Structure 1
Amino acid sequence: MALSFGTKPGLVVYLTAGDPSLEATYSIALAAIDNGADVLELGVPFSDPLADGPVIQRASERAVGRGVTLHDVLALSKRIREARPLTGIVLFSYLNPVVRMGLDAFCKAAKSNGADGVLLTDMIVEEAADYLTHMRENNLAPIFLAAPTSPDERLRAIAEHSQGFIYAISRVGITGKQTSLESDAESLVRRLRQFTSKPIAVGFGISNAEHVAAVGQFADAAIIGSAIVLLIEQSEPGIEAERVGEFVRDLRQPAT
């Protein structure tokens, strides 16, 4: 159980836990893993996901409407860990549900339920001292977001305190499927390389095999989120896992 990547570029797959249901998310997660995902990001549904675009916002709203909670996502993490022991699992959340649970309780629960790392979208590295202490005590990898607009001093701190991998945002703005890969991504990765040899994964807008291949030229992994969440939204009930498995498998194919 570790956050590591096999064939370069690695694949990180984001799922909104509980959309369309917790049981469906479990099946989708296994299909993604079995078809090439190295790491799963399990998104904790939140009522006000400001950093996310409309696709993930809708998924989060549906899951919240079904009553899916942080405790449900932790239980789902445990099931996935038991079924696929070697896959990296990251809990992806906003800070609010974690604060409500309590940092210490959350970190202990995350570890005991099979998570390897945590990414809190609105936890900034400058204010993370207490959070980092609890993460270290529970042998969890804190993952921070690095943006193209971040000054070098901030990138240095992000590189120092991130473990597992660094999440490089390919562009400024919200998450969402894009037709082309932003040029900011390569520049940001190059800037981060000044400060670290840790793996760097690029996300926001990665949506096809061509994007994944392009990311592999300068980064260690590609993160696929909105494209998969949209595919789930558009799938007929009961075939979501099959469609996601095919999609992830196709991401591994060389771009033509």
Structure 2
Amino acid sequence: MTRIEQTFITLKQQNKKALIPYIMAGDPNPSVTVDLMHKLVAHGADIIEVGLPFSDPMADGQVIATAGERALAGGTSTRQAIEMVKQFRQTDQNTPVLVMGYLNPIEIIGYENFANLCSEAGVDGILMVDLPPNEADDFPKKLQHYTPCPMNQIFLLSPTTAFDRRQSVIDNASGFIYYVSVKGVTGSNALDTDDVSTHLKAIKANTDIPVCVGFGIRDGVSAKALSAVADGVIVGSELVRHFGDDSIDTKTAIDNILAKMDELRRAIDG
């Protein structure tokens, strides 16, 4: 059993929903990430999603794409991002960490090498935006048998996912399913909670795997509404945007991120 799977079992027993913050590795500079991960846990994170910097992030809006540019400009590579997870693991053996990225850097490293690096660093889940289940072969199942750290491959569903594709994701999913709540990129403001609820009910009618919602969640109100129908909420742009605010320093940006975490945690626990 992976840490992600155990976390959702524990949360269900406690009648709680997961809060999953997203940050970009190396943003705004490499020295910030590991300490920020620990602070996110202290402010209510159940799972942390760490972005792997990439120069052409097709699923990301301006806020996270720019965060990736800052991280790349600061010298953060895919390998260095994974090393940050390894540093986090030196003092936190419990909080699951999911890495989110794109295929190009992974193909350069090699699937097996990448998976080995992740497992050895203590990564618990891998989300590759541009790797659909019908092209993943047996990679998702193999991840669950890596040592020392078994992993889940996380797949995306969206409002426009065709039925056969949705079923393929359900059949191959483990850990949790990431439901993209809007027809757009990260940071979209087109969130329709009623529409999300309808789609989630259809998905959950066909699987017991937890379903978490991301994209477009900006505040406690939207987080509370979605946590009522989902197993967790994923918040990225609303946190990352503070590092792009040139009018504040890094410490203030971190304080703002943690204040938002507190707001989200209170709303979800309600």
Tell me the equivalent position of 1:206: 217
- State the identity %: 30
| Worse overlay, 14-23 or 238-247 | 238-247
Tell me the equivalent position of 1:20: 28
Q: TM-score, normalised on structure 2?
A: 0.89
8 Å CA contact 1:29–1:40 kept in 2: the answer is yes
Within 5 Å, give how 1:1-256 maps onto structure 2: 2-3=3-4, 4-5=7-8, 6=11, 8-138=16-146, 139-178=150-189, 180-234=191-245, 235-254=248-267
8 Å CA contact 2:176–2:210 kept in 1: the answer is yes
Paired letter, 2:233: A
SS of 2:28 mapped into structure 1: coil
Paired letter, 1:201: C
Question: What is the rounded CA distance, in whole Å, between the counterparts of 1:212 and 1:103 in structure 2?
Answer: 34
Shift of 1:194: 2.3
Change (3 A) 1:179 1:50: closer
8 Å CA contact 1:31–1:244 kept in 2: the answer is no
Residues 32-73 of structure 1 show CA distances to partners (whole Å, capped at 9, x for unaligned) of: 111001011110000111110000011111111122101111
Structural RMSD (CA): 1.8
Paired letter, 2:258: G
Question: Which runs of no fewer than 5 residues in structure 1 stay unpaired?
Answer: none
Question: What is the rounded CA distance, in whole Å, between the counterparts of 2:152 and 2:129 in structure 1?
Answer: 14
Q: TM-score, normalised on structure 1?
A: 0.94
